[in-house]
Amino acid sequence: MTFDETLAEQIRLCAACPKMCRHVCPTFFAWRSDSPTPHGRALLIHQDLVGTRKIDDRGIEVLYQCLECSHCLTWCKPEVDIASIVEQKRKELVAEGRRPGGLTEMAQAIKECHNPFSEPHESRNNWLSANGKKKGKSLLYFVGCTSSYREKEIAANTVDLLESLGYRVLVAGGSQGEWCCGSPLFRTGDVELGMELAQHNTEMLNRMNAEEIIVTCPGCFRSLSKDYPANGLMINKRVRHISQLLNEIKESLPVFDFEEKITYHDPCHLGRHSKIYDEPRNVINRVSGSKLVEMERTRENAMCCGNGAGLRTLFPEHAKKIGSERVRQAQSTGASILVTSCPFCKNMLGSQAENSLTVLDLPEFVLMAMRGRKLKTH
Alpha carbon distance 88, 187 (integer Å): 9
> Where are the chain's structural domains?
5-98, 118-247, 255-370
Q: Which helix (H) or strand (E) is 215 found in, with range?
A: strand 212-215
Helix, strand, coil percentages (3-state) for the chain, rounded to 5, are 50, 5, 40
Torsion of CA 333, 351, 257, 297, to 10 degrees: 30
Q: Which CATH number fits domain 255-370: 3.30.1490, 1.10.150, 3.40.50, 2.60.40?
A: 3.40.50
Residue-level pLDDT at 374? 61
Give the pLDDT confidence of 66-118 residue by residue, as tens digits. Answer: 999 999 998 887 888 889 999 999 999 999 999 999 999 999 999 999 999 99
Nearest Cα residue to 268 out of 349, 189, 212, 333: 349
Question: How distant, in Å, are the alpha carbons of 55, 236, 353 from that of 51?
Answer: 10, 45, 46
This prediction has a pTM of 0.93
Sheet containing 262-265, strands listed edge to edge, beginning at the edge strand earlier in sequence:
262-265, 337-340, 358-361
Tally Cβ neighbours within 10 Å of residue 167: 22
Q: What value does the mean pLDDT take over residues 200-207?
A: 97
Q: Which CATH class is domain 118-247?
A: alpha beta
Q: What value does the mean pLDDT take over residues 158-187?
A: 94
Give the pLDDT confidence of 212-235 residue by residue, as tens digits. Answer: 999 999 999 999 999 999 999 999
> Which is more confident, 10 or 156?
156
Residue-level pLDDT at 29? 94
Residue-level pLDDT at 16? 66
Q: Cα 19 to chain center, whole Å?
A: 26
**pLDDT band for position 54 (50/70/90)?**
very high
Residue-level pLDDT at 378? 47
Inter-residue contact 327 to 303 (CB < 8 Å): no
CB contact set of 75 (below 8 Å; sequence gap of 6+): 20, 21, 24
